[in-house]
Chain A
Amino acid sequence: MGMKFEKTDEGRYRLNVNGYVCPHPQIYTKKALEKLASGDILELFFDNPSSGESIEAMIDNDGNTLVEKMVEAGQFEWHIQKA
């Protein structure tokens, strides 16, 4: 399965990078967040644990907010609000 980015609602987008290993999830996330407007939500789906560490640090550095963080059996679903 390849990368998938789609609009799910007004101001809400979904990025699915399941199956990808470093550095793809973090680079795709960075580029997607750059495109979003302030206040928009990015629903991020990934399954590479080490990418999560980098993405969390990037969110913090850039002043964005991790509004929801879910994990189940190695499957991560994070909701990020752009500052």
Chain B
Amino acid sequence: MQQQVASVATADTALAKMTLEEEGKRKKRLWALGLMGFFALISIGTFVYNEYYIYLSVYLWFGLIYGMCLQYGRFCFSSAFRDLFAIKVPRMLVGIVIATLLFGAVSAPITASGLSTFHAAPVSSHAIIAGVFFGIGMVIAGGCASSSLYKTGEGNMNALLVILSLSLTQALFADVGGWANYFVPDAWAQSALEKGLPASITVSDGWVDQYLAGYVWNQPAVTYAEVLGMPNASVSGAFVGNLLVGILIPAALLLAVVYTLYWRKGYRNKKQKEGKDVSGLKGELAGYWAMIIANKRTATAGLILGIACALHMLVIQGLRVKFGFRNAGTMLDRIGWDFGLSVQGTVFDPGYWYVTTQEAQWVGWTLQKMGVENLDNIYFGFVNGIPNPAINPADWMSFALIGGAAIIALYHNEFKFKKPTWETAMWSIIGGAFMGIGARLGLGCNVGAFFVRVANGDCSGWLFGLGMAGGAYLGVKFFNWWTERKLAKEFEACGL
């Protein structure tokens, strides 16, 4: 009898627990719906106030889609390189290469039609060095620039710290002068002065200013199509030069190397245990294909990301034509938000997915409000401006990206508010700082300097990627040493 009572009580407790869990899930899904409604209200409310705000809403809704895709696909460039070197898992790298390829395939017709908003970046060894800084940073921080945004949407406050560190470092690094000028080569200083920049830009005072105007701007900005002598905005240039030569061939070769070094052995062992024949070219091709389709979730997210990125370019270009401006700075000026425009009247308005500059801008804006004069540097004062974050188009995108990730995380019951520990906070801040320096040296992050550039045939994209891989390798070496040191005592206590 007592046993019966006990088992009924246990069943009741289990039922109550299940009901609580279901209730918790239901509440989280309501929060997800509420968030979606919040973004819809922003869009509708601002559009009713002034139709120009639809331009910002386009950034917002594409940001929301990017956030959803990133969270669903666990899309993380840091994981791509780090897991390869640290635990010999190529899953994410393969997913990201496939996603880049799919994005390239969607971008090619837009480039061919001449409607692309993409511009190639200067190409030289600086992209590799920048990538090394960024790669070290993303491993130490535990996430790249874009994954830190989506992880913030999952409630991960370490990721938020990474974003804060990355944003602050960029804003400070872009403006560093004084003592840092001693590290500027004379040739850069001279070349920067010869660019004839407006008087409000103090180009002789600022390391990054002289690096940009005295070195980076002197490098060629070309796509693979242009290197091969084809016009970029042509069918042959976009499909043969950029897509085939610039993306498909290098991606296939990279995947072949990854297959040989990281996938082949494990795959063959598994198949042989199952009694399957893996001999000959047929066996190799089957293994290669199995590796490519192993990460369907990331590849699916990548395909949607690719389509969204390409559509984003098209819609922004369409709105620019409709409203008759080439940069959102003109629009902001028309609606009365004229503070923080660059000396050219522009603001950062990439027209596609980008992560880091808008993060530097909101800190730049805050510093300016605190009395720091930072509109005298090229990054803020000549090119991107520091508009109020409340009406900064790219900030709307990043804000919505966090929201989109939160919606999917809440819907799948994966949202968890996670506080940093002292140790993880330290890694977030150090890693974010490294990424901030890398992003400013490379004129972009894993998205702007790698993903978007590679997918659009920009020659500097793979160079940044090569640097990121090298930096990630160094970061993994460091963490291997760190974790072995910490585990040694625990192993000893267990007699291992």
Please give, as numbers and ranges, the residues of chain B lying within 8 Å of A67 by CB-CB distance.
none
Give the interface size bracket for A toward B.
Answer: 35 or more
Among the 9-residue stretches B50-58, B245-253, B345-353, B484-492, the one with 4 or more Cβ atoms under 8 Å from chain A is B484-492
CA distance A2 to B158 in the complex (A): 15
CA distance A60 to B74 in the complex (A): 18
B91 contacts the other chain (CB 8 A):
yes
Whether the Cβ atoms of B483 and A28 lie closer than 8 Å is yes
Interface string of B158-196 (1 = CB under 8 A from A): 110000000000000000000000000000000000000
Which of A1, A24, A31, A61 has its CB near the most chain B CB atoms (within 10 A)? Answer: A61
Whether the Cβ atoms of A22 and B143 lie closer than 8 Å is yes
Interface string of B471-496 (1 = CB under 8 A from A): 00000100110011011001101111
Give residues of chain A (1-33) contacting chain B, Cβ–Cβ below 8 Å: 1-7, 13, 19-24, 26-28, 30-32
Cβ-Cβ contact count across A and B, 8 Å cutoff: 116
Whether the Cβ atoms of A3 and B79 lie closer than 8 Å is no
Contacting residue for B494 out of A13, A22, A26, A73, CB 8 A: A13
CA distance A29 to B423 in the complex (A): 18
Please give, as numbers and ranges, the residues of chain B lying within 8 Å of A63 by CB-CB distance.
266, 269-270
Residue on A with the closest CB to B409? A49
Whether the Cβ atoms of B486 and A3 lie closer than 8 Å is yes
CA distance A7 to B83 in the complex (A): 27
Please give, as numbers and ranges, the residues of chain B lying within 8 Å of A4 by CB-CB distance.
490
A68 contacts the other chain (CB 8 A):
no
Please give, as numbers and ranges, the residues of chain B lying within 8 Å of A32 by CB-CB distance.
487
Residue on B with the closest CB to A29? B87
Whether the Cβ atoms of B487 and A58 lie closer than 8 Å is no
Whether the Cβ atoms of B88 and A61 lie closer than 8 Å is yes
Residue on A with the closest CB to B417? A74
Whether the Cβ atoms of B79 and A74 lie closer than 8 Å is no
Whether the Cβ atoms of B24 and A30 lie closer than 8 Å is no
B82 contacts the other chain (CB 8 A):
yes
Please give, as numbers and ranges, the residues of chain A lying within 8 Å of B91 by CB-CB distance.
53-54, 57
Whether the Cβ atoms of B24 and A73 lie closer than 8 Å is yes
Please give, as numbers and ranges, the residues of chain B lying within 8 Å of A36 by CB-CB distance.
496
Whether the Cβ atoms of B139 and A23 lie closer than 8 Å is yes
Whether the Cβ atoms of B79 and A22 lie closer than 8 Å is yes
CA distance A24 to B491 in the complex (A): 17
Whether the Cβ atoms of A27 and B87 lie closer than 8 Å is yes
Please give, as numbers and ranges, the residues of chain A lying within 8 Å of B82 by CB-CB distance.
22-23
Known contacts A7-B494, A73-B413; is-contact A21 B89 (Cβ 8 Å): no
B296 contacts the other chain (CB 8 A):
no
CA distance A55 to B370 in the complex (A): 45
Whether the Cβ atoms of B494 and A54 lie closer than 8 Å is no
Whether the Cβ atoms of A73 and B269 lie closer than 8 Å is no
Residue on B with the closest CB to A27? B483
Interface string of A40-79 (1 = CB under 8 A from B): 0000000111100110011011110000000011110000
Contacting residue for B421 out of A6, A19, A31, A60, CB 8 A: A19
Which of B88, B159, B490 has its CB near the most chain A CB atoms (within 10 A)? Answer: B490
Whether the Cβ atoms of A31 and B79 lie closer than 8 Å is no
Known contacts A35-B496, A57-B91; is-contact A1 B487 (Cβ 8 Å): no
Whether the Cβ atoms of A50 and B86 lie closer than 8 Å is no
Distance in Å from the Cβ of B44 to the closest Cβ of chain A? Answer: 33
Residue on A with the closest CB to B139? A23
Known contacts A54-B89, A57-B89, A62-B266; is-contact A20 B74 (Cβ 8 Å): no
Please give, as numbers and ranges, the residues of chain B lying within 8 Å of A28 by CB-CB distance.
483, 487
Whether the Cβ atoms of B476 and A23 lie closer than 8 Å is yes
CA distance A69 to B74 in the complex (A): 19
Distance in Å from the Cβ of B407 to the closest Cβ of chain A? Answer: 15
Interface string of B398-423 (1 = CB under 8 A from A): 00000000000000011110110101
Whether the Cβ atoms of A50 and B151 lie closer than 8 Å is yes
Whether the Cβ atoms of B479 and A23 lie closer than 8 Å is yes
Residue on A with the closest CB to B157? A21
Distance in Å from the Cβ of A46 to the closest Cβ of chain B? Answer: 11
B21 contacts the other chain (CB 8 A):
yes
CA distance A13 to B414 in the complex (A): 27
Residue on B with the closest CB to A14? B494
B156 contacts the other chain (CB 8 A):
yes
Interface string of B324-346 (1 = CB under 8 A from A): 00000000000000000000000
Whether the Cβ atoms of B487 and A31 lie closer than 8 Å is yes
CA distance A3 to B189 in the complex (A): 49
Which of A2, A23, A60 has its CB near the most chain B CB atoms (within 10 A)? Answer: A23
Known contacts A5-B491, A61-B88, A63-B269; is-contact A27 B424 (Cβ 8 Å): no
Distance in Å from the Cβ of B23 to the closest Cβ of chain A? Answer: 12
Contacts from B to A (Cβ < 8 Å): 21, 24, 74, 76, 78-79, 82-83, 86-89, 91-92, 139, 142-143, 147, 151, 154, 156, 158-159, 266, 269-270, 294, 413-416, 418-419, 421, 423-424, 476, 479-480, 483-484, 486-487, 490-491, 493-496
